[in-house]
């Protein structure tokens, strides 16, 4: 869950369970709440504790070009 909303298409049914979230379109310095959910084959479900993430995409921006 991102900010309390389930993200469709991110279900993972095989170990190791992973979550890839592209933050390219989000502004640097913004914070988001992340939680993971699990459902057993018998229908039991649970949510993880909330984790707050502050985005920093600065290492992914291209370096500025300095004219010579």
CA distance 50 to 48: 6
Please report the pLDDT score of residue 17 as a whole number. Answer: 83
Q: Which residues pair with 37 in a beta bridge?
A: 47
pLDDT tens per residue across all 68 residues of the chain: 889 888 887 788 888 888 787 787 788 889 999 998 888 889 999 999 999 999 887 776 656 667 76
Taking the CA atoms of residue 57, residue 60, residue 62 and residue 63 in that order, the dihedral angle to the nearest 10 degrees is 80
Residue 20, sorted as left (phi over 0), alpha (psi -120 to 50) or beta, turns out to be beta
Q: What are phi and psi of 16, to 5 degrees?
A: -75, 140
pTM recorded for the entire structure: 0.66
Q: What is the pLDDT of residue 60?
A: 67
């Amino acid at each position: 869950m991102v900010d309390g909303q389930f993200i469709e298409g991110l279900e993972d049914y095989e170990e190791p369970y992973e979550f890839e979230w592209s933050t390219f379109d989000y502004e640097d310095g913004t914070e988001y709440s992340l939680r993971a959910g699990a459902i057993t084959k018998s229908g039991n479900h649970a949510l993880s504790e909330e984790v707050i993430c502050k985005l920093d995409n600065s290492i992914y921006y291209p370096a500025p070009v300095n004219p010579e």
